[in-house]
Structure 1
Amino acid sequence: MTIRDLLVHYAIKHKGDYFKIISAINKKEPVDYLLTSKQTLTILDEQYPKALRNLKYPPLVLFYKGNVELLNNQTCGIIGSRSVCDYASKMVHCVTEELKKKYTIVSGLAKGIDALAHQNSLTNQTIGVIGCGIDTIYPLENKELYEMMEHKHLILSEYPEQVAPLKHHFPWRNRIIAALSNFLVVVSAEQRSGTLTTVNAALDLSKDVYVIPYPNDNIYGKGCNQLIKDGAHLLMLEDIKFL
């Protein structure tokens, strides 16, 4: 039994919980029956993304489906709210159409902007980072998208099979999106949007954050406009080709 085997075992046993895995390692928790998973990357592996090592709490084990070689590509994170207005839908289409020519698109496989970013990138390459077990399709409306991505693209999770999509998982997922992305583009964000946790994670890593501006009366973009006021890069459609 190798140290890597132990790491995967603890990750499965403790359902991807970083602190429980660390505790199990420190206590040398006994192993009665070794738990395994075929498609994994561990922090001990050469192929483990260097960008993730910069996180305060880097995922110890990543479970995946699809083409793990995509982690070697130049990437762009495209994120936004689960609720989508016509303006946001148009913006995410314009942004992905241009950026997918040069970058592998990273997002969170959630409903709304995430799903649109992935769908618009299927003709090229895209990476989805999820906040539940690697075999769990959440939300169910993304079932077809998930099934397309698991074969020709890449789905990542620090949670093994049969782990539910718990609320506290998503900020942890967002830090991975931020770390894997060369830079972030925020397409929509309401005033109190979960999107902002990804932005904060990116800023902690000194990543550039570009934000689409919104009309002042559009509630789906109030978070975007605030980010621009706070110093994020304002991104006009005509400037996307220069990223």
Structure 2
Amino acid sequence: MNERLREAILWYALESQGEWQQIALRIKNKAPVQRIRYPGSFVTIVDPEYPSCFRQLRYPPWILFYEGDFSYLQKRGIAIIGSRNCTSSALNNTKIITDRLKKRYVIVSGLAKGIDSMAHRCSLDQKTIGFIGCGLDRIYPKENAFLYQEMSRRHLILSEYPMHTKPLAHHFPWRNRLIAASCDALIVIQAKCKSGTMHTVNECLELSKPVYCVPSAFEDKEHTGCNWLIQNGAYIIVEESDLDEL
């Protein structure tokens, strides 16, 4: 039974290009299934190796396509995220924080430009996980080609979307719940009050995961998200030693 359902979930994911609601509708209606041989690695919600961390989500992924070492999801993780268009000081803070934590935790992020890319890049000598919003054969953004190559070979990249799926705008806030589920705590380096970063924060709060923030400078009116989060109860990171309590 599980093998047939596994094949069905794969086919529905391919038919719907990974859209969660469309897969759910096909499962409910017992839509016709075509057996195929998929050229990449994947795990479905009916498989015994499906990570337990995703079962706590309101909308657990039906299927996860991946490249790399799937066992990384069994280790303790810290998510480090923030603005795509970040300041140089935010990038430097990302490096400092990642270097401090990467020997104790798998570093989790979203393979976006800016903060995410820096967190992944700084942890290539340890362990890092990236969640993307497109098919694994699509490199987005293009400037992360080297990261994709290194992480797919020696680390772990995951997506709900099968090969050839384009990086559509709604995919990225949707994948943020996976970042939240796979980490033990979240660190926000820099963010706007209205941003995808805040969506990940909300997902972490839904899962009762602690959120840590680097405060922004008083004169930085563009990135006030961290200060707002700190005002509303997030843990503040003032100096490197604050990270030792994680």
TM-score when normalising by structure 2: 0.95
**1:69 aligned partner:** 71
The Cα shift of 1:46 comes to: 1.7
* 1:21-50 CA distance string (max 9 Å, x none): 111111111124536343001111122111
Q: Any gaps of 5 or more consecutive residues in structure 1?
A: none
What is the DSSP-based 3-state SS (H/G/I as helix, E as strand, rest coil) of the residue aligned with 2:36? coil
The Cα shift of 1:103 comes to: 0.2
Within 5 Å, give how 1:225-236 maps onto structure 2.
225-236=227-238
**2:100 aligned partner:** 98
Is 1:195 aligned to residue 197 of structure 2?
yes
- Counterpart Cα distance in 2 of 1:121 and 1:221: 25
1:18 to 20, 39, 49: 20
Task: Check whether the contact 1:9–1:35 (CA below 8 A) recurs between aligned residues.
Answer: no
Is 1:8 aligned to residue 31 of structure 2?
no
What is the DSSP-based 3-state SS (H/G/I as helix, E as strand, rest coil) of the residue aligned with 2:224? helix
Task: Check whether the contact 2:40–2:66 (CA below 8 A) recurs between aligned residues.
Answer: no
The Cα shift of 1:155 comes to: 0.2
The Cα shift of 1:12 comes to: 1.4
- Counterpart Cα distance in 2 of 1:47 and 1:219: 45
- Counterpart Cα distance in 2 of 1:208 and 1:47: 26
What is the DSSP-based 3-state SS (H/G/I as helix, E as strand, rest coil) of the residue aligned with 1:226? helix
User: Which residue identity is paired with 1:53?
Assistant: R
Task: Check whether the contact 2:111–2:120 (CA below 8 A) recurs between aligned residues.
Answer: yes
Question: Structure 1 stretch 8-17 or stretch 54-63: which is displaced more?
Answer: 8-17
Within 5 Å, give how 1:74-89 maps onto structure 2.
74-89=76-91
The Cα shift of 1:177 comes to: 0.2
- Counterpart Cα distance in 2 of 1:47 and 1:33: 22
The Cα shift of 1:191 comes to: 2.7
1:159 to 149, 158, 161: 161
User: Which residue identity is paired with 1:168?
Assistant: H
2:45 to 43, 46, 62: 43
Task: Check whether the contact 1:190–1:219 (CA below 8 A) recurs between aligned residues.
Answer: no
Task: Check whether the contact 1:8–1:37 (CA below 8 A) recurs between aligned residues.
Answer: no
Within 5 Å, give how 1:104-119 maps onto structure 2.
104-119=106-121
**1:241 aligned partner:** 244
Task: Check whether the contact 2:75–2:105 (CA below 8 A) recurs between aligned residues.
Answer: yes
Q: Any gaps of 5 or more consecutive residues in structure 2?
A: none
Aligned residues: 243
Root-mean-square deviation (CA, aligned residues, Å) is 1.2
* 1:158-189 CA distance string (max 9 Å, x none): 00001111111011110100000111000110
- Counterpart Cα distance in 2 of 1:97 and 1:32: 47
Within 5 Å, give how 1:107-146 maps onto structure 2.
107-146=109-148
User: Which residue identity is paired with 1:42?
Assistant: T
Task: Check whether the contact 1:13–1:35 (CA below 8 A) recurs between aligned residues.
Answer: no
Task: Check whether the contact 1:12–1:36 (CA below 8 A) recurs between aligned residues.
Answer: no
- Counterpart Cα distance in 2 of 1:98 and 1:156: 25
Percentage of pairs with the same residue = 46
In the TM superposition, structure 1's runs of 4+ consecutive aligned residues that sit over 2 Å from their partners are 31-38
The Cα shift of 1:221 comes to: 3.2
Task: Check whether the contact 1:89–1:113 (CA below 8 A) recurs between aligned residues.
Answer: yes
User: Which residue identity is paired with 2:118?
Assistant: L
**1:183 aligned partner:** 185
Task: Check whether the contact 1:131–1:157 (CA below 8 A) recurs between aligned residues.
Answer: yes
